[in-house]
Structure 1
Amino acid sequence: MSDIRREMIMFSNLNCPTCAAKLETAVRALPGVASAKVVFGAASLDVEYDAGKVAYDRIADVASRMGLSVSARVPGTPSGN
């Protein structure tokens, strides 16, 4: 059974449009990620993923490897609930 989650991840230093596009592409490529959308003006990433296939920590690690710092994580409700 899938464990679909929605999260908004905020970054304190997402100030480069090219970096935002690269982050979105890299997160979308992770197995288990259904959708990922960076909102550059809000310095946030909206992501929907199957927690049974990819952990939040893996998503955050992608951002960290790009030099980004997570400033907040806002979990949403599981899909279908």
Structure 2
Amino acid sequence: MKKAVFGLEPLSCPTCIKKIENTVGKMDGVEAVKVLFNSNKVRAQFNEDFVQAEQIHEVITKLGYPVVSQKVS
């Protein structure tokens, strides 16, 4: 199981959080996702056999939330 933290530009509303969590959470292989509103970060836990951090990054960006940093462990 891998973990990734994606830094975002500042989020402006609670709806943004739900949109990211719901969409990323439905991706195959994503076990958990949490948006940290105060720190503008998305934490995701995922199975690399099904999804890669780059794919999660791409989905967040396509939702309209630019990713400014990414750390995978």
Q: Same fold (TM over 0.5)?
A: yes
Flag the structure with larger Rg.
Answer: 1
Using the aligned pairs only, state the percent identity: 25
Whole-angstrom distance in 1 between the partners of 2:55 and 2:10? 19
What is the CA deviation profile of residues 39-69 of structure 1, one whole-angstrom value per residue up to 9, with x for unaligned ones?
A: 1111111100011101112111211111111
Match in the other structure for 2:18: 21
Q: Structure 2 residue aligned with 1:62, among 59, 62, 65?
A: 59
TM-score normalised by structure 1 residue count:
0.82
| Superposition deviation, residue 5 in structure 1 | 0.5
Which ranges of structure 2 fall in alignment gaps of 5 or more residues?
Answer: none
Match in the other structure for 1:31: 28
Root-mean-square deviation (Å) = 1.1
Which ranges of structure 1 fall in alignment gaps of 5 or more residues?
Answer: 77-81
Spell out structure 1 runs of 4+ moving beyond 3 A.
Answer: none
Kindly indicate whether residue 49 of structure 2 is the aligned counterpart of residue 52 of structure 1: yes
Q: How many residues get paired?
A: 73
TM-score normalised by structure 2 residue count:
0.89
